[in-house]
C-alpha cells in the first residue's frame, strides 16, 4: 500500500506541473540552442507488461520508429508487475535525461490513489514528483468475459447468480488497480453485488486459468488472443467497456447499454518519462510519437485488434489522467 501511494502521489504532483508545459510541437533538431546534445546513447523503453499482446507489439512498433527518427537504438525492456507500478517505479529511479522511458497504462496513476489514505501503522508522508506523461498512445476497450465455469453466460444471469449466492462468483483481473479492477468495482457498487476479486500479475496466466475454468469471470483488454478465444467459444463475451459496440463483436453490448455507464471504461496507454527531463526533449519525444501514430503500418497494427490510436499533447494526456483519477475516487478498490 505504501509503495503505491508514494509513486502515485508523487506522480500527480508531476502531472499538475507538467500540464503547464505548452506542448507546441517540436522540430527534429537536437533541442534549443545551447542545450546538451540528445540522445547520445541508446534509449531504454520499459514496457510495463509481459511480452506478447497488443501492448508489446505497439511498444515495439514505437521503438522501431523512434530509433529511426532519433538515430539511436531504442531497446525494449519488460518489467511487468503490480499493474504497471513496477515499471513506473523503475522509471522514477532513472536519470532524468530522456534516455529512459516507460510505456504503461494510466491505471497506476488513476486507480491506486482511490485506496485508503493511511498505511497500516503510520502516517503517510508526501513524496516529490516522480514521473511525467509524455504522450497518449492508444485506448483499449475492456472485455467482461465468462469462463467455462459459468455456462449461463449473459451479463444479466451473472448478476442474478451473484445476488443469489453472495461471495461465490470470482472475477479475475490482470492486477490490483488496473482498469479491469475498476470495472469490477463499479459493477459491484452499482449493482450491489458481492463478487470476489482475483488479481493476477498480468494477463497471460489470467487467460490460461480462465480457459481452464479456475474462476467464473474476468475482465481483460481487447487483443487478438482474447478475440480468438471468444470466436472459438472458449470464453464468452458478456459486455465491453467501449464508447460503442465493436464491429468484430456486434452482439456484445457496452456496459453503458447495460445500465453501468460508470463501469464503461477503456484502458489508456502512453509514454512516460522521469520527472526532470528537459522540456525540449519531452516536446521532441511527443512530436516523434505523434508522427509514429500517423504511420499506416503502426495505425493498422493498433486498429486491427479494435484498439484506437490517440496521440496529442502532453498537457492533454495529463488532463485525461487527472480526470480519470477524480472519477476513480468515488469507488474505492478492495
pLDDT of residue 116: 41
Q: Is 80 exceeded by the pLDDT of residue 315?
A: yes
Q: How many CB atoms lie within 10 A of CB 234?
A: 14
Q: Is 80 exceeded by the pLDDT of residue 122?
A: no
131-146 and 266-274 beta bridge pairing: antiparallel
Q: How far is CA 259 from the centre of its chain?
A: 24
Query: With contact defined as beta carbons under 8 Å apart, do 142 and 266 qualify?
Result: yes
Q: For 2, phi and psi rounded to 5 degrees?
A: -60, -40
Of 45-49, 118-122, 216-220, 271-275, which range is least confident? 118-122
Pick the CATH number of 2-139+268-328 from 3.40.190.150, 3.90.800.10, 3.20.170.30, 2.60.40.10: 3.40.190.150
Q: Is 50 exceeded by the pLDDT of residue 139?
A: yes
pLDDT of residue 111: 67
Band of pLDDT at residue 230, cut at 50, 70 and 90: very high
Between CA 231 and CA 57 the distance in angstroms is 22
Question: pTM for the complete prediction?
Answer: 0.82
Hey, what long-range contacts does 162-167 have (CB within 8 A, 24 or more apart)? 162/191, 162/193, 162/194, 162/195, 163/191, 163/192, 163/193, 166/193, 166/194, 167/194, 167/195, 167/196
Question: Residue ranges of the domains in the chain?
Answer: 2-139+268-328, 141-263
The more confidently predicted of residues 171 and 224 is 171
Same fold for the pair 2-139+268-328 and 141-263: yes
pLDDT of residue 54: 79
What's the number of CA atoms in the CB half-sphere (13 Å) around residue 25?
2
Q: Taking CA 59 as the corner, what is the angle to CA 297 and CA 104, rounded to the nearest 5 degrees?
A: 135
* Summary mean pLDDT of the chain: 85
Span 78-100, pLDDT tens digits: 998 887 889 999 999 999 999 99
Span 4-24, pLDDT tens digits: 444 444 544 444 444 444 433
Between CA 22 and CA 316 the distance in angstroms is 10
CATH number of 141-263: 3.40.190.10
Sign of CA dihedral 27, 33, 36, 40: positive
Q: Is 50 exceeded by the pLDDT of residue 25?
A: no
Band of pLDDT at residue 124, cut at 50, 70 and 90: very low
Q: Is 50 exceeded by the pLDDT of residue 282?
A: yes
Q: Which residues contact 3 (CB under 8 A, 6 or more apart)?
A: 82, 85, 89
- Which residue reads 515495439 in cell numbers? 60
- The residues with which 138 forms a beta bridge, in sequence order, are 269, 309
Q: What share of the chain is helix, strand, coil (3-state, %, to 5)?
A: 40, 20, 40
Band of pLDDT at residue 119, cut at 50, 70 and 90: very low
Between CA 46 and CA 43 the distance in angstroms is 10
Q: Is 90 exceeded by the pLDDT of residue 177?
A: no
pLDDT of residue 83: 79
CA-nearest of 302, 276, 327, 330 to 106 is 327
SS3 278: coil
The more confidently predicted of residues 30 and 185 is 185
Q: Is 70 exceeded by the pLDDT of residue 227?
A: yes
Span 179-200, pLDDT tens digits: 999 999 999 999 999 999 999 8
Band of pLDDT at residue 175, cut at 50, 70 and 90: confident
Band of pLDDT at residue 284, cut at 50, 70 and 90: very high
- Which residue reads 497500516 in cell numbers? 120
From residue 139, alpha-carbon distances to 114, 163, 213, 223, 300 in Å are 22, 32, 29, 12, 14
Between CA 158 and CA 140 the distance in angstroms is 24
Query: With contact defined as beta carbons under 8 Å apart, do 172 and 210 qualify?
Result: yes
| Length of the chain as a residue count | 334
Nearest 10 degrees: CA dihedral of 132, 34, 66, 100?
Answer: -40
Band of pLDDT at residue 27, cut at 50, 70 and 90: very low
pLDDT of residue 35: 65
Amino acid at each position: 500500500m505504501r509503495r503505491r501511494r508514494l509513486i502515485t502521489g508523487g506522480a500527480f504532483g508531476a502531472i499538475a506541473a507538467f500540464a503547464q508545459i505548452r506542448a507546441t510541437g517540436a522540430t527534429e533538431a537536437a533541442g534549443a540552442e545551447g542545450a546538451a546534445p540528445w540522445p547520445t546513447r541508446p534509449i531504454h523503453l520499459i514496457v510495463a507488461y509481459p511480452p506478447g499482446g497488443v501492448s508489446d507489439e505497439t511498444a515495439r512498433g514505437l521503438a522501431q520508429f523512434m530509433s529511426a527518427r532519433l538515430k539511436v537504438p531504442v531497446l525494449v525492456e519488460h518489467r511487468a508487475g503490480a499493474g504497471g507500478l513496477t515499471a513506473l517505479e523503475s522509471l522514477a529511479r532513472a536519470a532524468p535525461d530522456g534516455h529512459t522511458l516507460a510505456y504503461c497504462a494510466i491505471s497506476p496513476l488513476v486507480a491506486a490513489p482511490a485506496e485508503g489514505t493511511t498505511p497500516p501503522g503510520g502516517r503517510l508522508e508526501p513524496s516529490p514528483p516522480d514521473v511525467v506523461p509524455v504522450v497518449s498512445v492508444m485506448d483499449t476497450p475492456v472485455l467482461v468475459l465468462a469462463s467455462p465455469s459459468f455456462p449461463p453466460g449473459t451479463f444479466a444471469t451473472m448478476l442474478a447468480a451473484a445476488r443469489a449466492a453472495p461471495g461465490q462468483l470470482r472475477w479475475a483481473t490482470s492486477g490490483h488497480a488496473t482498469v479491469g479492477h475498476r470495472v469490477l468495482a463499479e459493477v459491484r457498487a452499482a449493482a450491489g453485488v458481492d463478487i470476489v476479486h482475483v488479481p493476477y500479475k498480468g494477463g497471460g496466466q489470467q487467460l490460461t486459468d480462465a480457459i481452464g475454468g479456475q474462476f467464473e469471470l474476468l475482465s481483460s483488454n481487447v487483443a487478438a488472443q482474447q478475440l480468438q478465444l471468444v470466436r472459438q467459444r472458449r470464453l464468452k463475451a458478456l459486455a465491453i467497456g467501449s464508447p460503442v459496440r465493436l464491429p468484430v463483436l456486434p452482439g456484445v453490448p457496452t456496459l453503458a447499454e447495460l445500465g453501468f455507464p460508470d463501469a464503461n471504461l477503456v484502458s489508456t496507454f502512453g509514454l512516460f518519462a522521469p520527472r526532470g527531463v528537459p522540456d525540449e526533449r519531452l516536446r521532441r519525444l511527443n512530436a516523434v510519437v505523434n508522427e509514429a501514430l500517423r504511420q499506416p503500418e503502426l495505425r493498422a497494427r493498433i486498429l486491427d485488434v479494435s484498439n484506437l490510436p490517440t496521440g496529442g499533447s502532453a498537457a492533454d494526456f495529463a488532463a485525461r489522467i487527472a480526470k480519470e483519477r477524480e472519477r476513480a475516487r468515488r469507488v474505492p478498490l478492495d
